[in-house]
Amino acid sequence: MSRKSRRILLGLAGVAVIVVVAGILILRGPGPMTFAAGAKVALADYRAADPTGVPPALAKASLVERGEYLARAADCMVCHTAPGGKEYAGGFAFKLPFGTLYSTNITPDRETGIGDYTDQQFLDALHRGVRRDGARLYPAMPFTSYTYITDADALAIKAYLFSLPPVRATPPRNTLAFPFDQRWAMTFWSVLFNSDERFRPDPAQSPEWNRGAYLAEALAHCGECHTPRNPAFALDNYDKFAGAVTAGWRAYNITSDKATGVGAWSDDDLVSYLTRGHAPGHGTASGPMGEAVDHSLGRLVPEDIRALVVYLRSVPPVASPDLPATLAPPAPASYRQGGNLADIRGRRVFEGACASCHSWTGQSPLTPFATLTGARAGNDSSAINVAQIVISGTRRHTPADALSMPAFGNIYSDVEIAAVANYVTARFGSKGSAITADDVAALRKQGSQ
Amino acid sequence: MATLKINGETKDFDAPDDMPLLWVLRDVLGMTGTKYGCGIAQCGACTVHLDGQPVRSCLLPVGEVRDRAITTIEGVGATAAGAKVQKAWLDLEVIQCGYCQSGQIMSAAALLAATPNPDDADIDAAMAGNICRCGTYVRIRAAIKRAASEA
Amino acid sequence: MSFTHQSPLVSSRRKLLGAGIAGGLLFAFHLPVRGQDKPLKVSDVSTGPFAPNAFIRIDVTGKTTLVMPQVEMGQGIYTAIAMILAEELDADYTTVALEAAPPSDKLYGNPAFGIQATGNSNSVRAFWMPLRKAGASARAMLIQAAAVQWKVEPSACSAASGEVIHAASGRRLSYGALAEAAGRQTPPADVPLKDPKDFTLIGKPLKRFDTPAKTDGKAIYGIDVMLPGMKFATVASCSVFGGKVGKVDDTAAKKVPGVRQVVVLDDLVAVVGDHMWAARKGLEALNITWDEGANAGVNSAAIWDALRKASAGDGVVAKSTGDVAKALAGGDTIEAAYELPFLAHAMMEPLNCTVRLTPDACEIWIGTQVMTRVQSEAAKAAGLPLEKVTVNNHLLGGGFGRRLEADMVAAAVRIARQVDTPLKVVWTREEDTQHDVYRPAYRDTISASLLNGRIAAWKYKVTGSSVLARWFPPAFQKGIDIDAVDCAVDMPYDIPNFHVEYVRAEPPVPTGFWRGVGPNNNVFAIECFMDELARKAGKDPIAFRRDMLGKQPRLQAALDLVARKSNWSDTLPARAGRGVSVQPAFGSFIATVVEAEVDERGEVRLRRVTSAVDTGIAVNPDTIVAQLQGGLIFGLTAALYGEITIANGRVEQSNFNDYRMLRIDEVPPIEVHVIKSGEAPGGIGETGVTAGPPALRNAIYAATGVALRRLPIDKEAIAVRSKT
Ligand code: FES
Ligand code: FES
pLDDT 10s digits, B31-70: 999 999 999 999 999 999 999 999 999 999 999 999 999 9
Answer yes or no: is pLDDT of B2 > 90.
Answer: yes
Domain span including residue C48 = 33-211
Q: Determine, yes or no, domain membership for C1.
A: no
Indicate if C482 and C619 belong to the same structural domain: yes
Q: Which of C376, C394, C426 is the last residue of a domain?
A: C426
Q: Is residue C235 located within the same domain as residue C141?
A: no
Identify whether C83 is part of a domain. yes
Please tell me whether residues A275 and A381 are part of one structural domain: no
* Confidence grade of residue C355 (pLDDT, cut at 50, 70, 90): very high
How far A357 CA lies from chain B's nearest CA (Å)? 6
B125:A352 CB<8 A: no
- Cα torsion at A31, A32, A37, A42 (round to 10°)? -80
Ligand (nearest to CA of B95): 2
Q: Tell me: do A178 and A78 sit in the same domain.
A: yes
Contacts of C612 (CB under 8 A, 6+ apart): C557, C558, C559, C561, C562, C565, C590, C591, C592, C672, C673, C675
Whether the CA torsion A210, A215, A219, A222 is positive or negative: it is negative
Measure the CA–CA gap between B142 and A234, rounded to whole angstroms. 61
Q: What angle do CA A137, A442, C646 make, to 5 degrees?
A: 85
Please write the tens of the pLDDT for every residue from C30-54: 332 223 344 556 655 556 689 999 9
Report the C-alpha gap between C535 and A185 in whole angstroms. 60
Kindly report the length of chain A.
Answer: 449
Query: What local confidence, expressed as pLDDT, does residue C36 receive?
Result: 35
Q: Residue B66: how many CB atoms within 10 A of its CB?
A: 11
**Which string of DSSP letters, residue by residue, matches C180-217?**
HHHHTSPPPSS-PPPPGGG-SSTTS-PPPSSSHHHHTT
C663 and A411 Cβ atoms separated by less than 8 Å: no
Distance CA C561, CA C566 (A): 8
A180 with A267, same domain?
no
CA of B44, closest atom in ligand 1: 3
Backbone angles phi, psi at C508, to 5 degrees: -80, 35
* Residue A426 belongs to a domain: yes
Shared-domain flag, residues C364 and C320: no
Task: Indicate whether C337 and C356 sit together in one domain.
Answer: no
Helices B101-114, B137-149: crossing angle, 10 deg rounding: 40
C648, closest residue in chain A (CA to CA): A84
Residue pair A102/A92 in contact by the 8 Å Cβ criterion = yes
Same domain, A173 and A66: yes
Same domain, C307 and C289: no
Q: What's C514's DSSP letter?
A: -
pLDDT the model gives residue C26: 25
Residues in chain A with CB shorter than 8 Å from the CB of C658 are 406-408, 410-411
CATH of the domain at A424: 1.10.760.10
Q: How confident is the model at residue A29 (pLDDT cuts 50, 70, 90)?
A: confident
Residues A86 and A185 in one domain: yes
Residue A38: inside a domain, yes or no?
Answer: no
Give yes or no: residues A188 and A97 share one domain: yes
The full DSSP string for C406-432 is -HHHHHHHHHHTT-SS-EEEE--HHHH
Same domain, A186 and A151: yes
Give yes or no: residues A226 and A189 share one domain: no
d(CA C636, CA C668): 11
The answer to whether residue C101 is domain-embedded is yes
Asked whether residue C28 carries a pLDDT value surpassing 90, the answer given is: no
Same domain, C526 and C674: yes
pLDDT, one tens digit per residue, over A237-248 is: 999 999 999 889
- Burial (CB < 10 A; 0-12, 13-18, 19+), residue A447, is middle
Asked whether residue C72 carries a pLDDT value surpassing 50, the answer given is yes
Residue A201 inside a domain? The answer is no
Is the pLDDT assigned to residue C722 strictly greater than 90? no
Whole-angstrom distance, CA of residue C34 vs CA of residue C422 = 13
Q: d(Cα C637, Cα C439) in Å, to the nearest integer?
A: 14
Chain B's closest residue to C398, CA to CA, is: B97
Q: Is there a domain that residue A11 lies in?
A: no
**N-term to C-term CA, chain C:** 63
- B131 CA to middle of ligand 2, Å? 8
> Cα–Cα distances in Å, from C209 out to B90, C29, C160?
11, 11, 21
Is the pLDDT at C467 greater than 70, yes or no? yes
The mean per-residue pLDDT over the stretch C201-228 comes to: 96
**Residue C285 resides in a domain:** yes
Q: How many CB atoms lie within 10 A of CB C661?
A: 23
In 3-state terms, what secondary structure has residue A124?
helix
Residue C530 and residue C511 share a domain: yes
Give the residues across from C337 on adjacent strands. Answer: C445
Contact C214 B101 (CB under 8 A): yes
Provide the domain count of chain C: 3
**Closest by alpha carbon to A368, among A273, A251, A267, A295?**
A273
Nearest-angstrom CA–CA distance, B6 and B24: 11
Q: What is the CATH number of the domain that holds A255?
A: 1.10.760
In a shared domain, residues A189 and A271: no
Q: Cβ separation of A407 and C715 shorter than 8 Å?
A: no
The parent domain of residue A365 ranges over 344-447
**H/E segment holding residue A269:** helix A267-276
Q: Hey, is C320 helix, strand or coil? A: strand
Q: Please identify among residues 1-60 of chain B the ones whose CB lies closer than 8 Å to any CB of chain A.
A: 17-18, 40-42, 44, 50, 53, 55-56, 59-60
**Domain's final residue, options C211, C245, C271:** C211
Clarify whether residues C182 and C286 are in a common domain: no
Let me know if residue A335 belongs to a domain: no
Cis preceding-peptide flag for A97 (omega within 30 of 0): no
- Given a cut of 60, is residue A80 above it in pLDDT? yes
Residues A260 and A359 in one domain: no
- Distance (angstroms) between ligand 2 centre and the Cα of B108 equals 15
Distances (CA, A) of A283 to A273, A340, A362, B36, B41: 9, 21, 11, 28, 19
What residue ranges line ligand 2, CB within 6 angstroms? B 95-101, 132-134, 136; C 74, 348, 398
Residue in A349, B40, A356, A358 with CA at minimum distance from that of residue C665? A349
Last residue of a domain, one of A314, A333, A361: A314
Q: C443 and C486: one domain? A: yes
Look at residue A328 and tell me if it is in a domain. Answer: no
Of C145, C178, C211, which marks where a domain is finished? C211
pLDDT over 90 at C640, yes or no:
yes
Are C692 and C629 part of one and the same domain? Answer: yes
Nearest to C352 by CA among C260, C224, C239: C224
What are the distances in angstroms from CA C85 to CA A83, A403, C155? Answer: 59, 52, 21
Count of other CB atoms within 10 angstroms of residue A400: 7
Quick one: average pLDDT of A271-287? 95
Chains near B with 3+ CB pairs less than 8 A apart are: A, C
Are C347 and C372 contacting, i.e. CB atoms less than 8 angstroms apart? no
d(CA B26, CA B13): 12
pLDDT of residue C46: 58
Predicted confidence band of residue C570 (pLDDT cuts 50, 70, 90): very high
Q: Give percent of chain A above pLDDT 90.
A: 77
Using CA atoms, how far apart are residues B128 and B151, in angstroms rounded to an integer? 24
Domains of chain B (ranges; CATH) run: 2-71 (3.10.20.30), 77-149 (1.10.150.120)
- Residues A212 and A157 occupy one common structural domain: no
Nearest CA among A402, A419, A262 for reference residue A347: A419
| Residues in chain B within 8 Å Cβ distance of C29 | none
User: Of all atoms in ligand 2, which is nearest to the CA of residue C347?
Assistant: 3
Confidence of residue C331 (pLDDT cuts 50, 70, 90): confident
Q: Please tell me whether A282 is known to bind a ligand.
A: no
Q: Does C724 score more than 90 pLDDT?
A: no
C467 and C526 assigned to the same domain? yes
- Whether C3 maps to a domain, the answer reads no
CA separation, residue A77 to residues A139, A170, A224, C91 (Å) = 17, 16, 16, 73
Query: Residues B97-121: what's their mean pLDDT?
Result: 98
* CA max distance for chain B: 44
Q: Is A127 annotated as a binding residue?
A: no
Alpha carbon distance, N-terminus to C-terminus of chain A: 61
The overall average pLDDT reported for chain C is 92
Q: Is residue C10 part of a domain?
A: no
In a domain, C22, yes or no: no
**What Cα–Cα distance (Å) separates residue C687 from each residue in C207, C374, C574, C582, C583?**
22, 27, 31, 11, 9
Q: Which of A356, A365, A406 is closest, CB to CB, to B129?
A: A356
Cβ of C23: how many Cβ atoms within 10 Å? Answer: 10
Ligand 1 atom nearest to B39, measured from its CA = 1
Probe residue for ligand 2, chosen from C348, C403, C515, C627 as the CB with the greatest number of ligand atoms within 8 Å: C348
DSSP three-state, residue C651: strand
Q: Is the peptide bond before C712 cis (omega within 30 degrees of 0)?
A: yes
Q: How far is the CA of C531 from the centre of ligand 2 (A)?
A: 33
Element (H, E) at C444: strand C442-451
**A319 found inside a domain:** no
Estimate the share of chain A in helix, then strand, then coil, as percent rounded to the nearest 5.
45, 5, 50
Coil, helix or strand at residue C630: helix
Lowest mean pLDDT among A407-411, A436-440, C48-52: C48-52
Q: In terms of domains, do A212 and A185 share one?
A: no
Which mutation among B38, B92, B99 tests ligand 2's pocket best, with the greatest number of atoms within 8 A of CB? Answer: B99
CATH number at residue C419: 3.30.365.10
Say how many domains are in chain A.
Answer: 3
A394 close to A287: Cβ distance less than 8 angstroms: yes
| Residue C639 to residue C385: CA distance in whole angstroms | 45
Region of A53 please: left (phi>0), alpha (psi -120 to 50) or beta: left
Distance separating alpha carbons of residues C231 and A314, to the nearest angstrom: 56
Whether residue A19 has pLDDT greater than 90: no
